[in-house]
Chain A
């Protein structure tokens, strides 16, 4: 168990720092956003698994030689109310850490889910009262608002895509089609589920810079994925123009809006919009098949390794 714990700890450290930084810098991600997104999910899952697993296997050393027998030993120790001989302070510390970290992550995920669900349902009520349904287009609504805005609101039963009057004035028909195709892709590919998971991870670990790095990277990747789906319906330059036009829409249009403009847009936002436009302007080519397969296999291996380490008593 000590060897397993050491290996899991080494994996946890790798997945907490050098691996995500390398992936965030990888230039190939823009050519294969789907593969990169898969890798991010694998890193998050494997990272959590190996971190909790390392603490757990180390903490369980006094209770048995393998995860299952040690857990049985732990429960009998709890029912007896006494610890086995030779148990040291560090093992108990690790064991408590594993339990606390696991519970903390799960609670945060549940809390984020509940909160987002509540916000969405409030938002859906407001949208229902303030916007008009688009004739002939189910699930789409027009909001009488001067600034160009487009977004989708995912829902369990009914999802809504909202376009503002300002957007319809700003864009021509092809560009509007591009925006609609992009938003539809978010909904049909259920990007909000991935975003929510990374949001929960970040709120669970607010002091951990990699969590926010991951959330930003994942946010950009799902935009690229939705762009790629929209590119099936419209030309690359039409979509690029739509992105650039909406992003750089004149502030004057917001003068009479009830919302004051934000005090400054995060730099990451501007940089990621530029990357999206650049990618479309260059006609992003998909990553070669062997590289895709390699990255996909890497994602599977990332999750498989800590699972195997935990479940199979290969060592000791």
Chain B
């Protein structure tokens, strides 16, 4: 049983891949059949997930055509950049938001670390 979050992810994957506006019916056809998500999915479910994604700003809906068509509002790469900017960037608020295992150091400092470990 796929969760709502996984459905959202599958739908975004299709929209990112398609790079074109798709209707809910076309989306349903394009969804992979793996892990129970696929053709047996009701169009109403797809529409529900799409409107959730629209509310979150990940999807834009074109209401001028019938049926309405949906497209990804931003590319996957841009979203990834936003995410990684928060994780890797030096935004001052970052440490309050998430805890990273370890930051990265310069090559010279990396050499020092290897010395501390007694390797090389």
Contact = CB atoms under 8 A, between A and B. Distances in A.
Contact of B102 (A143, A247, A259): A247
A130 interface: yes
Contacts, number: 153
Contacts of B101: 149-151, 179, 182-183, 242-243, 246
Interface residues of B, number: 44
Contact of A120 (B83, B97, B117): B97
Contacts of A249: 104
B80 interface: yes
A152 interface: yes
B54 interface: no
B60 to A, nearest CB: 15
B41 interface: no
Contacts of B84: 145, 147, 149, 257-259
Contacts of A276: 102
Contact of A248 (B8, B81, B87, B109): B109
B110 A152 contact: no
Contact of B98 (A129, A130, A153, A246): A153
B35 to A, nearest CB: 11
Nearest to B97: A119
Contact of B82 (A126, A143, A183, A196): A126
A277 B88 contact: no
B5 to A, nearest CB: 5
Q: Give me the 5 closest cross-chain CB pairs, A-B, nearest first.
A: A248-B110, A258-B81, A150-B101, A199-B96, A151-B100
Interface of B: 5-6, 8-9, 12, 56, 58, 76-90, 93, 95-107, 109-110, 112-114, 116-118
